Amino acid sequence: MKRSTILRTAAVTATTALAGTALVACGSGSSSEGMLAAIEAGEVTVGTKYDQPGLGLHNPDGSMSGLDVDVAEYVVNSIAEENGWDAPTITWRETPSAQRETLIQNGEVDLIAATYSINKGRSESVNFGGPYLVTHQALLVREDENEITDLESLDGKILCSVTGSTPAQKVKDALPGVQLQEYDTYSSCVEALRQGNIDAMTTDATILLGYSAQAPGQFKVIEMEQDGEPFTDEYYGIGLAKDDQEATDAINDALTKLHESGEFDTLLDKNLGGDEAVSPGTPGDLSFIE
Ligand code: GLU
């Protein structure tokens, strides 16, 4: 049965200044001794997205904002506090979808919080703390679009997603009739959609709701379902060096505290307006990986 649902657009807090966070354009990287050693040394390099409002955004004034930014800060500071270390200086580093595993493996970042779905393939190269959030793949179309209403109606349409992302791969596998164009970033997909060069873009509902909220009246978000179920489940994790189990456990403890204290709901509300396309994950439970 075909079913389409328009998701409510979330209110996105435009700019949130980060207190106590240093922004440095180019990080030097510091993870050769592991994430915990970097936090103890007082300088940690955190990877996130720079162009995803409500999740990871590098603002014109140089500050960072978004749920992933806040979650990463919470985790790093809570690990420092737990160990009796000073809160470290965070150097932010942009980590586009296709580069995340490589940047971790090269030691250019100590951890990544960047709408980063945990899956089997990625788990062979990096460790994941989390999941701290679960969302689903969805579609973004122009407000006046009336032909694209669900997964099936994408056939023959031009769809945009990002290289190295799970949604791009899932669409290729499930819908060979779709003309998929892969860009480096979601913001370039949004621009192509605005210009009319593509018909729709696909990625996580969280990300699409952020773009939709940023440009009121221009776009709408459509859920993707298959056999009455969400087309995908995207479990967001915090990526770090492969086999660094001590740091992974520390991240999971911090994420559990984030959820149990109620702080996660506060951050969700602040950044994504209490986004209904999101549910909290269970940190440390990776049983969903096939
Ligand atoms: N969560 C998906 C992924 O990790 C899509 C979002 C992204 O590309 O960052 O691939």
Looking at the structure, do residues 243 and 209 belong to the same domain, yes or no?
no
Provide the residue range defining the domain that includes 217: 137-230
* Ligand 1 atom closest to the CA of 168, numbered from 1: 10
Looking at the structure, do residues 175 and 248 belong to the same domain, yes or no?
no
Ligand 1 in reach of 97 Cβ (< 6 A): yes
Ligand 1 in reach of 115 Cβ (< 6 A): yes
* Ligand 1 atom closest to the CA of 165, numbered from 1: 10
Is 256 strand, coil or helix? Answer: helix
Ligand 1 in reach of 116 Cβ (< 6 A): yes
**Residue 4 pLDDT > 50, yes or no?**
no
- Residue 175 included in any domain: yes
User: What's the total number of domains in the chain?
Assistant: 2
Residue nearest to atom 10 of ligand 1 (CA): 165
- Residue 117 included in any domain: yes
- For residue 117, the CA-to-ligand 1 centroid distance in Å is 6
Q: Which range (21-30, 100-109, 113-122, 260-269) has the least confidence?
A: 21-30
Under 8 Å between Cβ of 97 and 28:
no
Distance CA(160)–CA(141), nearest Å, equals 11
What DSSP letter does each residue of 54-121 carry, written as one string? TTEEE-TTS-EESHHHHHHHHHHHHHHHHHTPPPPEEEEEE--GGGHHHHHHTTS-SEE-SS-B--HH
Looking at the structure, do residues 179 and 201 belong to the same domain, yes or no?
yes
Looking at the structure, do residues 160 and 88 belong to the same domain, yes or no?
no
CATH number at residue 195: 3.40.190.10
Q: From 165, 160, 167, select the one nearest 140 (Cα to Cα).
A: 160
pLDDT of residue 275: 67
- Residue 14 included in any domain: no
Percentage of residues in the chain having pLDDT higher than 70: 88
Q: Residue 277 — very low, low, confident or very high, per pLDDT cuts 50/70/90?
A: confident
On average, the pLDDT of the chain sits at 89
**Residue 154 pLDDT > 60, yes or no?**
yes
b or e along 164-189 (b: 16 or more beta carbons within 10 Å of the residue's beta carbon)? bbbbbebbeeebeebebbbbebbbeb
- For residue 200, the CA-to-ligand 1 centroid distance in Å is 17
Phi/psi class of residue 81: alpha, beta or left (left: φ > 0; alpha: ψ in -120 to 50)?
alpha
- For residue 15, the CA-to-ligand 1 centroid distance in Å is 23
- Residue 51 included in any domain: yes
- Residue 217 included in any domain: yes
- Residue 287 included in any domain: no
Ligand 1 in reach of 165 Cβ (< 6 A): yes
* Ligand 1 atom closest to the CA of 166, numbered from 1: 10
- How many beta carbons lie within 10 A of that of residue 30, not counting itself? 22
Distance CA(183)–CA(186), nearest Å, equals 7
Is 185 strand, coil or helix? Answer: coil
Amino acid at 6: I
Looking at the structure, do residues 226 and 262 belong to the same domain, yes or no?
no
Over residues 208-231, the pLDDT tens digits come to 999 999 999 999 999 999 888 999
- For residue 81, the CA-to-ligand 1 centroid distance in Å is 30
Under 8 Å between Cβ of 46 and 76:
yes
